[in-house]
Structure 1
């Protein structure tokens, strides 16, 4: 019989770790990527899209936390959908989550390379992106508590820098700049901008991936999620609005390093503070880069442990108690994406994975309420059924908007899903109960 300890993770994470992991996962979205939304919608069009997406995330997180605390499983949405809808539900949610996190990693790596290139033009974007991949694979293998402690440190620095950024650019904000050409593409632009607004918050759900490593998850997971969401809403709106009013926003709408450029406009590119800011700006990107590697590896680990991916990927390192092969596999996917895509394309695919996963999660919540009414729910969804319904409706609208404005990328996403389903059926996996059903049941006991 297989050694259970070889597929168990240590419970060491506290609320401060969860806040840092959640904010750290997302915070790079405040540093780059969102500004591409201006290019398709203008400042006011993008503000409307962002407010809609903020409502989606508030309703989603206050619903998703019910699933995370009821089923604290490293598979996240994959585990919830499997329990609610069976093998095919688990496969679709698992595939979407893998796309979400595995492709967020190279998108952030591209921006890390761009920030370094901004500081030192002789350093190429791609070589530095590949270098960061290797370094953070090694850090993540070294241990979850060590990784989480690093997340706390780097996330606090990243948040402090965004507050500093807002303080520096606020005096230069001009409403005339912000309202210049506010909706050049009309309401169609608002829909086109939705995936870039999602980038402000994408990956906050990654806290679910470390649920098996949380002390007292009943109390600590809600605390981590809610404090992180409040932090991110404030930062997203503050950075977006203030940046849009310092100059002609079109100068910043297609860059991978909009914040250093904005500081350069305000202070002058020769100013020492501009270089210092860009240097510190690496912290926000590093926080998210580190976090997405952590979250994606737990998803690979959970799906491998369940037999949906090669079982060797579910091995836990005996010394560090981390899923080392799952971490390395995610790194290889990131390498491939860096060589084959652009930042914008990778962001859109990652967002598509995210919104499909959000849809599957909310559907799972409704099904489990009917199917398992007596399941222990340490945190009940707020304003049920309104909040999960709102989250489901907005995420569905997002999916169709992405499909309409990015048809070829959508074909790639769904072709990958179709291939996964075909392989799944040919291997007969849909006829088997996954091996960690026991772990799903045991997770409800919620060990401290």
Structure 2
């Protein structure tokens, strides 16, 4: 086995676990910030719009993933379609998405633990989570994927239990009161809130595409990846809408907006603070956060690895450990994430909490990546009609066009409502481009990779 080649060991169930696990923390926290922006009804509109975008995107993205099964995921597709600069845009955007999501999740892990142990500093708990799950990822992808599958199944089961336990206390009248950006009437303010809440609706589904970065480690990726992706997006749409509606109907939803643990607080309103169900949610609920945290570490490490192997980042990040895992890439993302956690209180972006700011930064990266991925799909259909496509996007060109148009709408809305974070994101992209300009020799000396260039 080459020191720069990943080993295929993952089956359909593992890939489903990775795809759902990467995302499922979005059902546990983060989305309730959207209530604070748009209200429950406004945010429901936003969530349905975003769910449509993601469903169309995944059905289209799967064509690229199966045709070009590469650890770089979107980076590989965009480089093959648009050359080195296209690969750079997709690669840096994906890296920003996957590096800035884990600090937000780690802080939520700290908040959940703080419910049980008020004396525990959430930041220390967040750093402890980094150390534990970076180590697990370094020990091997088979171990990591098996763990991911177990915690994902538990997290899905827990969300179903949550909906069942709070159902007796659910009232639709609670959900709709002041449902349009703090008002009972739809207005221009409500419409503005619908667009402003886009990052938090995207958080429901953010990073599902990360399973593509395990494509090199998938057994028979042309068959296993489509099955995992389709089952994954259906699972997540059901859970996202179900959890949001049930949580919003158990009391005053405004008390659940802008906090990191809305589900425990919603359950507390129904069963009380000392209920066995309440303690179960806090502990098992951690599995949802852990599944995403652990899975996104796997995702960002493969993106660092693929970019470094292709000469876009320092070559040392492409080294593999004796466990055949990109240990240096795993550690590099962890260092950035831990630094972000301890920047809380030192950096203020548009008055947002650290969690909201990290979510928004991550979503900027995701949306740019979605746009260039759909453009790559259209370009490769035209320039490489003979590329083997064992899965073809259904409803082409309409379905990928819907995903592309909605992604552009999301990007414009985010830039309008989050200008400062948008400029910070742009600064990261420019820094990546400057590094790219000075390191052409790294790419010239990189090992040949047939999947990154046209046949």
The aligned residue for residue 422 of structure 2 is 410
Q: In the alignment, is the contact (CA less than 8 A) between 1:107 and 1:346 conserved in 2? A: yes
Deviates more, 1:428-437 or 1:104-113: 428-437
Residues 245-300 of structure 1, C-alpha deviation per residue, up to 9 Å, x if partnerless?
11111000011000001111111112232122111111100000000000110000
Q: 2:53 pairs with 46, 51, 56, which one? A: 56
Q: Find the residue that maps to 2:274 and give its secondary structure.
A: coil
Structure 1 gaps of 5+ residues are none
The aligned residue for residue 185 of structure 2 is none
Q: CA deviation at 1:441?
A: 6.5
Q: In the alignment, is the contact (CA less than 8 A) between 1:308 and 1:429 conserved in 2? A: no
The aligned residue for residue 118 of structure 2 is 121
Residues 362-421 of structure 1, C-alpha deviation per residue, up to 9 Å, x if partnerless?
011111111111111111111111111111111111111111111110000001111211
* Alpha carbons of structure 1 residues 410 and 235: separation in structure 2 relative to 1, 3 Å: same
Residues 23-51 of structure 1, C-alpha deviation per residue, up to 9 Å, x if partnerless?
10000000000000000000010000000
Map of 1:388-399 to 2, 5 A cutoff?
A: 388-399=400-411
User: TM-score scaled by structure 2?
Assistant: 0.94
The aligned residue for residue 215 of structure 1 is 219
The aligned residue for residue 189 of structure 1 is 193
Q: 2:177 pairs with 177, 180, 195, which one? A: 180
The aligned residue for residue 375 of structure 1 is 387
The aligned residue for residue 266 of structure 1 is 270
Separation in 1 of the partners of 2:439 and 2:6?
A: 28
The aligned residue for residue 41 of structure 1 is 38
Does residue 79 of the first structure (1) align with residue 76 of the second (2)? yes
The aligned residue for residue 257 of structure 1 is 261
Q: In the alignment, is the contact (CA less than 8 A) between 1:424 and 1:430 conserved in 2? A: no
Does residue 17 of the first structure (1) align with residue 14 of the second (2)? yes
Separation in 1 of the partners of 2:152 and 2:316?
A: 32
Q: Find the residue that maps to 1:86 and give its secondary structure.
A: helix
The aligned residue for residue 338 of structure 2 is 335
Q: CA deviation at 1:134?
A: 0.4
Q: Find the residue that maps to 1:134 and give its secondary structure.
A: helix
Map of 1:167-316 to 2, 5 A cutoff?
A: 167-184=164-181, 185-316=189-320
Map of 1:414-425 to 2, 5 A cutoff?
A: 414-425=426-437
Does residue 93 of the first structure (1) align with residue 90 of the second (2)? yes
Q: 2:4 pairs with 3, 7, 22, which one? A: 7
Separation in 2 of the partners of 1:325 and 1:183?
A: 47
Q: CA deviation at 1:13?
A: 0.4
Q: In the alignment, is the contact (CA less than 8 A) between 1:195 and 1:348 conserved in 2? A: yes
Q: CA deviation at 1:429?
A: 5.9
* Alpha carbons of structure 1 residues 225 and 431: separation in structure 2 relative to 1, 3 Å: closer
User: TM-score scaled by structure 1?
Assistant: 0.96
Q: In the alignment, is the contact (CA less than 8 A) between 1:88 and 1:430 conserved in 2? A: no
Q: In the alignment, is the contact (CA less than 8 A) between 2:374 and 2:403 conserved in 1? A: yes
Over aligned residues, Cα RMSD in angstroms? 1.5
Q: In the alignment, is the contact (CA less than 8 A) between 1:191 and 1:401 conserved in 2? A: yes
Q: CA deviation at 1:220?
A: 0.4
The aligned residue for residue 361 of structure 1 is 373
Separation in 2 of the partners of 1:192 and 1:441?
A: 39
Structure 2 gaps of 5+ residues are 182-188, 345-353
Q: In the alignment, is the contact (CA less than 8 A) between 2:54 and 2:205 conserved in 1? A: yes
The aligned residue for residue 317 of structure 1 is 321
